[in-house]
Chains A and B, each alone.
Chain A
Amino acid sequence: NAGVTQTPKFQVLKTGQSMTLQCAQDMNHEYMSWYRQDPGMGLRLIHYSVGAGITDQGEVPNGYNVSRSTTEDFPLRLLSAAPSQTSVYFCASSPGQGRNYFGPGTRLTVL
């Protein structure tokens, strides 16, 4: 099992550009989520999904969109990048109440 994979590892964007961060898991988990981590802080929940076709907002959803068309994939879209979105983004999956499995992260810089 590859677990949770994320691409790209690094990305630099200019203000106003859009992009999609990819996340995939091969553990057949129902639950997937996106977090962002800013320097010196813990992770904050952006969006999450409790199954294919079902998504909901987390603590900091503004400026991001998600969709979940398959169990395996949960992409995160930045609609119009802003410097405030410079962060490290982590995708996670979970079989339910309990542990989450995290991907290696995408380090995003918005100039």
Chain B
Amino acid sequence: SQQGEEDPQALSIQEGENATMNCSYKTSINNLQWYRQNSGRGLVHLILIRSNEREKHSGRLRVTLDTSKKSSSLLITASRAADTASYFCATDGGFSGGYNKLIFGAGTRLAVHP
């Protein structure tokens, strides 16, 4: 079973616009991560936010986390054609111990048009 659900499933925008993707999850977590996957390639880690954090920034990325609603959002500002990819949220399911077994959502497909 999948932990998270991303919304929307697909998003199409113009270059320069902002893109917002949402993720909901079901269990408690230690942290939540966002990954990007270009077509046919492996996943690339974008950002990690811990359960005691509410917001985090990295370059043009802004992630928020609301543990009371079990949801997170990823905002990409001033999007570029190169941002075209699928974006996945992944949670660790709240497992204790040193290793987080990632539980992925189905992803949001983002298309940025020049």
Listed in ascending order, the chain A residues whose CB lies under 8 Å from chain B are: 4, 30-31, 33, 35, 40-45, 48, 50, 58-59, 90, 92, 94, 96-105
Contact = CB atoms under 8 A, between A and B. Distances in A.
Nearest to A40: B106
Interface in B94-109: 97-107
A42 B31 contact: no
Nearest to A99: B45
B77 to A, nearest CB: 22
Given A42-B4, A43-B43, A104-B42, A98 B106 contact: no
Interface in B12-64: 30-31, 33, 35, 40-45, 48
B22 to A, nearest CB: 15
Contacts of B88: 42-43
A98 B105 contact: no
A4 B31 CA distance: 23
Contact of A45 (B45, B101, B105): B101
A31 B4 contact: no
A96 B103 CA distance: 15
B42, B44, B101: most-surrounded residue (chain A CB, <10 A): B42
A43 B42 contact: no
B99 A90 contact: no
Contacts of A90: 42-43
A45 B43 contact: no
Interface in B68-114: 88, 90, 92, 97-107
A41 B102 CA distance: 14
Contacts of A31: 98-99
A98 B33 CA distance: 8
Given A42-B4, A42-B105, A97 B43 contact: no
A72 to B, nearest CB: 17
